[in-house]
Amino acid sequence: MNNKPTIAVIGAGLGGAAAGALLQQAGYPTKVYEQAPAFSRLGAGIHLGPNVMKVMRRIGIEDKLNTMGSHPDHWFSRNGLTGEYQSRIPLGDFARENYGAAYITVHRGDLHELMVSTLDQENLFFDKRLVDVNDQGGKVRMTFADGTTEEADLVIGADGVNSQIREKLLGSEAPIYSGWVAHRAIISAEKLKAYDLDFEACVKWWSEDRHMMVYFVTGDEKEYYYVTGVPEPEWCHGTSFVDSSQEEMREAFKGYHPTVQALIDCTETVTKWPLLERNPLPLWHDNRLVLLGDACHPMKPHMAQGAAMAIEDAAMLVRCLEEVGAHDYREAFELYRTNRFERASRVQKVSHDNTWLRQDEDPAWVFGYDVFETPLKAPEAVSEESPV
């Protein structure tokens, strides 16, 4: 008989899908509730560093991702105006040998579809928007927008930057608009053949206050992608994205290198996203509720590590439940927070400052991390303060 507690994961984003898959593998009766009626292949890419690929190995999809993704040999940083190289960070074989897994870039929709496919489909529920949660001591009662209610022993808030579970723990508070937006566009690599230019597999073009990160999102290198960081003092479109345009891109990257101009010339559709943050939260869990990912540490995406932190959180949370025994869930949740707070807060800070790999530096503290092997720190041994 299974005497493990029942667990509800709210949100089937990248963090929620990782948590659901790892919990189900470990034998926890787990249901995942997602507000969206279905997922679509949004036009966006994502980096998966070796730190995340180790979690993908555990979930059982590392090989598929290695086939699906592009494998850059380097992360290049270049001066957006002159093209001069500012850093050459070795990835490829170097990453496999030194950090223990590949560094890939992939289409976010393809990654998400693959991760969601690893969940027990009978315990994955779409169109289930959580509107209230009541931690009654013995069980948690969840109420959804369709009027239905469900119960679970433990509830994981993997419900993103506007998390209902965070609101339950800490009250209503909008995320902070950082003053920066990100434009995102996918370009057919076929179109780029018309240019006598080198389109590198993973390159970030920088100038003082803005940048454009560019990489392939498929292993066959047919789809190229850019994502920017551009200052925009006001944002009045809530937390959703809006359409942008080629003209807006030309204006934002006026004077940039011909390679960047070629990418803008080849842009068909481009969207614009507000970059939202929160300061490190004083509370990650209370009684039977616990948070992970953007629900507790949303960040600017400038290290390409936001989803990585959500996925690492999921793996550490399951590790701590196993370590302590899930019936001591309060202790397990505190062990989890203790072993995630410093790292997530540090990544949040470096992402905020947008300094990552701008010049040559050793990225081993990020890429070499193994969430399953890193020694666990006892709760009292860790300071409450962010280390940076």
- Tokens representing residue 253 in the block: 């990257």
- 350 binds ligand FAD per the rule CB under 6 A: no
Q: Check residue 110 for interaction with ligand FAD (CB under 6 A).
A: no
> Taking the complex as a whole, how short is the minimal distance between the CB of residue 142 and ligand FAD, in angstroms?
9
Annotated active-site residue 215? The verdict is: yes
Q: Which residue has the tokens 């299974």?
A: 2
**Could you give the strand order of the β-sheet that contains 7-10, starting from the edge strand earlier in sequence?**
124-125, 30-33, 7-10, 154-157, 289-291, 285-286
* Residue 13 lies near ligand FAD (rule: CB under 6 A): yes
- From the candidates 103, 215, 336, 369, give the one annotated as an active-site residue: 215
Nearest approach in angstroms of CB 274 to ligand FAD is: 8
The yes-or-no answer on residue 33 being catalytic is no
Q: Which residue is nearest to ligand FAD (CB)?
A: 13
Measured distance CA(229)–CA(180) in Å, rounded: 6
Given the residues 28, 47, 257, 329, the one annotated as active site:
47
Quick check: 72 binds ligand FAD (CB under 6 A)? no
15-44 footprint of ligand FAD as x/- string (CB under 6 A):
xx----------------xxxx--------
Largest Cα–Cα distance in the chain?
67
> Which one, 44 or 332, has the nearer CB to ligand FAD?
44
- Contact at 8 Å (CB) between 38 and 124? no
> CA–CA separation, 308 vs 28, rounded Å?
23
Among 11-19, 54-62, 63-71, 357-365, the segment contacting ligand FAD (CB under 6 A): 11-19
Alpha-carbon distance 340 to 52, whole Å?
Answer: 14
Q: Which is nearer to ligand FAD, 78 or 112 (CB)?
A: 112
Q: In the set 62, 110, 294, 334, which binds ligand FAD (CB under 6 A)? A: 294
For ligand FAD (CB under 6 A), the number of binding residues is 34
CA pseudo-torsion sign 212, 253, 183, 262: negative
Q: Which two tokens stand for residue 249?
A: 């891109």
CA distance 174 to 161: 9
Is 11 a residue that touches ligand FAD (CB under 6 A)? yes
CA distances from 4 to 27, 124, 215, 325, 365 (A): 7, 19, 43, 9, 34
Give the residue numbers annotated as catalytic, written as ranges.
47, 215
Q: Which residue ranges make up the site for ligand FAD (CB under 6 A)? A: 10-16, 33-36, 46-47, 128-130, 158-160, 164, 182, 184, 227, 273, 293-295, 301, 304-308, 310
